[in-house]
Every structure is written in structure tokens, then in C-alpha cells.
């Protein structure tokens, strides 16, 4: 049986840093102390107007390819976890796949909101375990800043933008050992962004629904999330034949520091085994766990043989957890020629794309002329 092992990783966040004081200057009835004491968040990153989420996803995926010294054309599948796609169709994953030069790979989006990355990781692992794929790029990327109500202090201070990616590869050694996914649609309305779908159809009028903004019942989400994070984590720990004492690193969804601390306490995990960077990035939705993983690696908190638990929750209400045994040595540096090779491959992909577009245009022109002459 093949196992799915993480062999590459990368992250990308926007340059624009927004501290808590920025919301005070906006005239919001809040303060740095109010935000940080309730959430643990001190700052977050926001994209500039008009930057698509695919930009962030591509940069994170490129880094993952560099770490693994992998070729984009070796990819069999690209899965993008996002609830903020570039557009309704086609999938944003198709843009990422194209810009990477992964022209032999399938591509699709997966929307489980903040739980999306672990959902996607479990899906990619299943493709490898079944023998249907050998190399799968899994990306989590979101730009919730585009859907925030700037007059609602209970939501707009929580979120940030970013992307993280991992490259999964088939291995003979155990990597991802167990996973679970779940959903409780009865609570879907507790955290949602309305509009943009068939339930509130605009019938072609782009402005009919106004701007779709995020709404959340914070107290109910908080109570549910603190319990669900630990329950899902406990399930995959047991299914992996591990004990809590054997868990080396706990990587939960970075939504709120109090939720993270509560889940760790329920599991009986000491603080030194829990990773959190919510103070720096806020809640980046599907990007939060892969960004946290990249930073844990850079801080020398991930080593070969470590047992790691990833657990998340989100709108839906959705949740997911995954247990993995880390099997990839952490390189001290990227091979000198790898970035140059990837840049060349990306340019070649762009050239191949331009040729295909030109061929389609020529065929269309010829077809129109033949139809006109025949008529």
C-alpha cells in the first residue's frame, strides 16, 4: 500500500500589514486590548484591491515545488481549498495549475471554508493511497478581507489573507496515518457569506445582491469549535494507534487563541506541543494550517519521526482532522538552480499556453471563413 508523505511546503502572505490600531483609526468601537485579549490577534495581512487569490496560491505552490525539487509536469493533481475563488467558474485551481506549468495535472477547487485545507489534504492522500496519483499539490488560500463588514467589530478584526501549500508524494513509509471529515448543515447559518449563488440569483444583474459580506454568530461558533477541535483530534489519534503523550506537535486551525488553548487543554497537551501564529496573521481560513506548518518548520519544531495532529473547523458547519508522521528531512537550503529551473518552466508553460490560444484562434477564423464561403 502506498502512503502519502509531505515532501514540499510553502506559504505566501500579502505585504500589507494591518495592526489592531488600524480599526480604531477607522472609527470602529474597539481597541488593541479588546481585540488581543479576546482573540490573541495583534495583526494580519490584507491584499491590495484587485489582487486575486490565485496570485497567493501560485506563489505558495512554487515554494513547495522548490523545497521538493519537483517538476510541475510531474504533478498529477492540483487541489485548491478556498471559499474565496477568483470567480464562479472556472475553478481557481485551473488558473493555478496553468500558471505553474502543471499541464499534465487535473485541477479542482474544494470549499469547506476554514476546514478546507485538511479536507483537501485527506482527499489528496486518498488519491495517492488508491494508486490514482503519485504527486498531488494541495493548496489552501483565502482572501476574506474582500467579504468583511467594516462596521462589525466582532468579525472584521478576526480575518487575514494568505496561502499555504504542500506537495504530497507516494511513499512506502507511513505519512498520513488517519483522517476524519464531518459536517453539520443544521448550523450552516451560524457562519456564512450570502450571495453569489443560485439561492440568491441575480439573473444576470451583477449588482442585484450588493456586496456579499461575512456574518457569524460568534458565541455559538466558539462553544461548538472548542469541543469539535478536540473531538476530531482525539478520533485520529486513536485511529493512528497513538496516545496523546506520543503527539509531538498540535497544529490547529488558527482562528482564536482561546479556542486553541481550550482544545489543547481538553486533549491534555502541554503548551510547548501546540503551535500558534494567530497573533501575526489572524484567521486566514483555509490557509491557516499550511501557513502554521511552514512557520513551525522554519522554527525547527518539525523533525523526522514526529507525530503531528492537524485539526480544523469552519462554515458548514464543517470539521476535519488528520494525523501524520513526518518523514521528510528539512533541507537547510534550496538547491541553487531550482528557482531558476522553475522560473524557466513557468515561462515555457506560458509559451505553450500562448501557442494553444493562437492555434484555437486560427482554427476559429478558418472555420468561420469556411462556413461563410459555404453559405
pLDDT tens, residue by residue, 136-186: 999 999 999 999 999 999 999 999 999 999 999 999 999 999 999 999 999
| pLDDT recorded at residue 368 | 78
Task: Answer with the residue of higher pLDDT: 17 or 202.
Answer: 17
C-alpha–C-alpha distance, residues 228 and 95, integer Å: 34
Q: Is the pLDDT of residue 257 over 50?
A: yes
C-alpha–C-alpha distance, residues 345 and 65, integer Å: 12
C-alpha–C-alpha distance, residues 126 and 23, integer Å: 43
Which is the catalytic residue, given 114, 135, 146, 156? Answer: 114
Q: Is 366 helix (H, G, I), strand (E, B) or coil?
A: helix
Mean pLDDT score of the chain: 93
C-alpha–C-alpha distance, residues 223 and 156, integer Å: 20
Global pTM reads 0.91
C-alpha–C-alpha distance, residues 251 and 49, integer Å: 31
- Which residues touch 251 (CB under 8 Å, ≥6 apart)? 275, 289, 292, 293, 296, 308, 309, 310, 311
C-alpha–C-alpha distance, residues 293 and 299, integer Å: 10
pLDDT tens, residue by residue, 121-149: 999 999 999 999 999 999 999 999 999 99
Torsion, Cα 195 196 198 203, to 10 degrees, reads 100
pLDDT class of 32 with cuts at 50, 70, 90:
very high
- Residues 228, 293: contact at Cβ < 8 Å? no
Which is the catalytic residue, given 111, 156, 253, 294? Answer: 253
Q: Is 253 a catalytic residue?
A: yes
pLDDT class of 203 with cuts at 50, 70, 90:
low
Q: Is the pLDDT of residue 67 over 60?
A: yes
pLDDT tens, residue by residue, 1-17: 799 999 999 999 999 99
Q: Is the pLDDT of residue 110 over 70?
A: yes
pLDDT class of 195 with cuts at 50, 70, 90:
confident
Torsion, Cα 159 9 315 108, to 10 degrees, reads 120
- Residues 237, 243: contact at Cβ < 8 Å? yes
| pLDDT recorded at residue 205 | 55
pLDDT class of 209 with cuts at 50, 70, 90:
very low
Q: Is 307 a catalytic residue?
A: no
H or E stretch covering 153:
none
Which is the catalytic residue, given 12, 135, 283, 294? Answer: 283
| Pairing verdict, β 135-143 and 77-81 | parallel
| pLDDT recorded at residue 357 | 78
C-alpha cell at 100: 505553474
Q: Is 283 a catalytic residue?
A: yes
Amino acid at each position: 500500500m502506498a502512503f502519502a508523505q509531505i515532501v514540499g511546503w510553502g506559504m505566501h502572505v500579502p505585504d500589507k500589514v494591518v495592526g489592531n490600531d488600524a480599526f480604531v483609526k477607522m472609527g470602529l468601537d474597539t481597541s488593541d486590548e479588546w481585540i488581543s485579549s479576546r482573540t490573541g490577534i495583534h495583526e494580519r495581512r490584507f491584499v491590495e484591491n484587485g489582487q486575486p487569490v490565485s496570485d497567493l496560491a501560485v506563489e505558495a505552490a512554487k515554494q513547495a515545488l522548490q523545497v521538493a525539487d519537483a517538476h510541475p509536469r510531474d504533478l498529477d493533481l492540483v487541489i485548491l481549498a478556498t471559499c474565496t475563488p477568483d470567480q464562479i467558474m472556472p475553478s481557481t485551481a485551473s488558473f493555478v495549475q496553468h500558471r505553474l506549468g502543471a499541464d499534465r495535472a487535473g485541477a479542482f477547487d474544494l470549499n469547506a471554508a476554514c476546514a478546507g485545507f485538511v479536507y483537501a489534504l485527506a482527499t489528496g492522500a486518498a488519491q495517492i493511497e488508491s494508486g490514482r496519483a503519485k504527486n498531488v499539490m494541495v493548496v489552501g488560500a483565502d482572501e476574506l478581507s474582500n467579504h468583511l463588514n467594516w462596521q462589525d467589530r466582532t468579525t472584521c478584526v478576526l480575518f487575514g489573507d494568505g496561502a499555504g501549500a504542500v506537495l504530497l508524494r507516494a511513499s512506502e513509509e507511513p505519512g498520513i496515518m488517519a483522517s476524519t471529515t464531518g459536517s453539520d448543515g443544521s448550523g450552516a447559518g451560524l457562519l456564512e457569506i450570502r450571495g453569489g449563488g443560485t439561492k440568491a440569483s441575480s439573473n444576470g444583474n451583477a449588482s442585484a445582491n450588493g456586496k456579499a459580506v461575512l456574518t457569524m454568530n460568534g458565541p455559538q461558533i466558539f462553544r461548538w469549535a472548542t469541543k469539535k477541535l478536540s473531538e476530531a483530534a482525539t478520533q485520529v489519534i486513536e485511529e493512528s494507534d497513538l496516545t496523546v503523550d506520543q503527539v509531538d506537535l498540535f497544529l490547529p486551525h488558527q482562528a482564536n487563541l482561546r479556542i486553541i488553548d481550550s482544545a489543547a487543554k481538553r486533549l491534555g497537551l502541554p503548551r510547548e506541543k501546540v503551535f500558534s501564529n494567530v497573533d501575526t496573521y489572524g484567521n486566514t481560513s483555509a490557509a491557516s494550517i499550511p501557513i502554521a506548518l511552514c512557520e513551525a518548520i522554519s522554527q525547527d519544531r518539525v523533525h523526522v519521526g514526529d507525530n503531528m495532529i492537524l485539526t480544523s473547523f469552519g462554515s458548514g458547519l464543517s470539521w476535519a482532522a488528520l494525523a501524520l508522521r513526518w518523514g521528510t528531512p528539512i533541507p537547510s537550503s534550496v538547491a541553487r538552480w531550482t528557482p531558476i529551473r522553475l522560473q524557466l518552466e513557468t515561462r515555457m508553460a506560458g509559451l505553450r499556453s500562448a501557442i494553444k490560444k493562437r492555434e484555437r484562434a486560427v482554427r476559429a477564423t478558418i472555420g468561420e471563413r469556411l462556413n461563410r464561403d459555404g453559405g
